[in-house]
Amino acid sequence: MSKPLTQKVSPVFWITIAIVAAAVTWGVIVPDNLKAVTLSIRDYLSIHFGWYYLIVVALFVLFCIFMIISPYGKMKLGKPDDEPEYSMPTWFAMLFSAGMGIGLVFWGVAEPISHYIKNAPTAETGTPEALNESLKFVYFHWGVHAWAIYATVAMTLAYFKFRRGAPGLVSATLTPILGEKAKGPIGKLIDVIAIFATVVGVATTLGFGAAQINGGLNFLLNTPDEFWVQLVIIGVVTVLFMISAYTGLSKGIKYLSNTNLVLALLLFGFVLVVGPTLNIMNVFTDTIGSYIKDVGNMSFRLSPNNDAEHTWIQDWTVFYWAWWIAWSPFVGIFIARVSKGRTIREFLIGVLVVPSLVSFLWFATFGMSAINLEQTGAADIAGLATEQALFGTLMEYPLGTITSIIALCLIGTFFVTSADSATFVLGMQSTKGSLNPPKTVKFSWGIAQSATAAILLYTGGLQGLQNALISAAFPFSMIMIMMAYSFYKAITEDYHAMKKETSSSSSSNQSAKTGS
């Protein structure tokens, strides 16, 4: 006989549900107040701790590079004889879908256009210098730094779960430094923060994503840009990811991730061919060089003596670093779950390099295709709403209607994959780290995410919830620092124990040969 739900779930399930319910109630009753309060907290952290975000994210990058080149890189995220559970293409597809897929579709045109035409980091808008900066900073925001945040969380969780047999919980990774306290109130608080960030992150994505799909339908088919359309979209996505969640990790998410990858490659390849191909590749090559040359400076750049540049950094770079940190519990836990059996070196190179290069190519292709339309006067892409910029660009090239439909399908499958992945992660975190959480728990979280998105989209409280998510990044960044130290402490112990065991084994074998 199976255990009842109340015996399977951890107390953090009920605590987090209560916190989310309180936040949603606040957003329903006084959405403007929620937005104002959370915005003030977010702005305070960005203004007073922008320096901290830049330093801590740079340290995560250096930590990952150190682990790649150190002797620890050959150790596995699992037992020495464990093999990867998923093929390399499927693994990359899962990384891409869970990590940033929907963000690339949403911002692939809008962000380069914004940096080039509306608000350049340092150069005069609309100039060749602004064009170079637009892609250089997009690479910076969506590249190695972002993935180093995810990789730090994922590597630590995977190591403790698959190498040391610890529960798949954020709190469990801190046992080497917290001891038994990791199982007490402190550990529960850490897990609540991780679950809250995941629920809020996916709920806001569902809400804003529904708005983007609605914006695309409005642009293409003149569908009303109204709440009831967005509610239908959320409803359809919910049904689809519930079906996917029911089929399990090795079926639903795996097949959807591969579908995402195929659709994304089709759309990317087509736009690269029909767009200004030579210009795309020239600018891509040039801006990659600029990014590599300036990445060190950008990593620590705050421009405190230039108000305009300082504000831009707070609005973009600091915002992104907080956003990725806030998303890292969800994405990190999911990446950890699908990375068993890979060496640390293979894992880090795969997580840092491949998704970053895909992102760079994506932004160069879609960004330059849109910028080319602006430069030639063929279309005013900058004048479109953010959620319509991609569709406005696609419609100016051959087979625009077909590629726009593919883009809508891609957005939809990315949403389903993200929500499905999140229900798995939430189920895992609220059932004491179970690798196969009960379907009832996953369904409960799925309904909670969708209901949160729908309710706050209707009342206008979604932006306030997003601000709360970004604010949650501040305490979780400190947890990440503890996770990195705990991981280093654990892997150092295991590495030296392994070397000692290998040395003893070699000595025994040598003695046996000598004796014979």
The tens-digit pLDDT sequence of the chain (516 residues) is 344 444 467 788 888 888 888 888 888 888 888 888 888 988 888 888 999 999 999 999 999 999 999 999 999 998 888 888 888 888 887 777 766 667 888 889 999 999 999 999 988 999 999 999 999 999 999 999 999 999 999 999 999 999 988 888 889 999 999 888 888 889 889 888 888 887 877 777 777 778 778 887 888 788 888 888 888 888 888 887 777 766 655 555 667 777 777 888 899 999 999 999 999 999 999 999 999 999 999 999 998 889 889 999 998 999 899 889 988 888 888 889 889 999 999 999 999 998 899 899 999 999 999 999 999 999 899 998 888 899 999 999 999 999 998 888 888 887 777 777 778 778 888 877 777 777 788 778 888 888 888 877 777 766 777 777 788 888 999 999 999 999 999 999 998 888 777 666 655 555 555 555
Q: Can you give the pLDDT at residue 464?
A: 77
Residue 64 CA to residue 151 CA, distance in Å, equals 8
CATH of 14-493, one of 3.30.530, 3.40.50, 1.20.1740, 1.10.10: 1.20.1740
> 395 burial class (0-12, 13-18, 19+ CB within 10 angstroms)?
middle
Q: Can you give the pLDDT at residue 257?
A: 73
Q: Can you give the pLDDT at residue 6?
A: 45
The pTM of this model reads: 0.89
Three-state DSSP state, 120: coil
Residue 373 CA to residue 121 CA, distance in Å, equals 21
| DSSP strands (E only) in 239-371 | none
Range list of H helices, 79-143: 88-99, 101-107, 110-113, 128-142
Q: Hey, where are the domains in the chain? A: 14-493
Q: Can you give the pLDDT at residue 503?
A: 67
- 156 contact partners, CB below 8 Å, separation of at least 6: 173, 332, 336, 483, 484, 486, 487
Residue 372 CA to residue 375 CA, distance in Å, equals 5
- 57 contact partners, CB below 8 Å, separation of at least 6: 145, 148, 149, 299, 321, 324, 325
Residue 51 CA to residue 421 CA, distance in Å, equals 32
Residue 78 CA to residue 19 CA, distance in Å, equals 34
- 64 contact partners, CB below 8 Å, separation of at least 6: 148, 151, 152, 155, 348, 352
Number of other residues whose CB lies within 10 A of the CB of residue 246? 13
The pair of structure tokens assigned to 424 is 């798995």
Residue 91 CA to residue 68 CA, distance in Å, equals 19
Token pair 């080497």: residue: 176
Angle of CA points 337, 338, 339, to nearest 5°: 95
Residue 160 CA to residue 350 CA, distance in Å, equals 20
Q: Can you give the pLDDT at residue 513?
A: 58
Residue 190 CA to residue 187 CA, distance in Å, equals 5
Token pair 């000692």: residue: 500
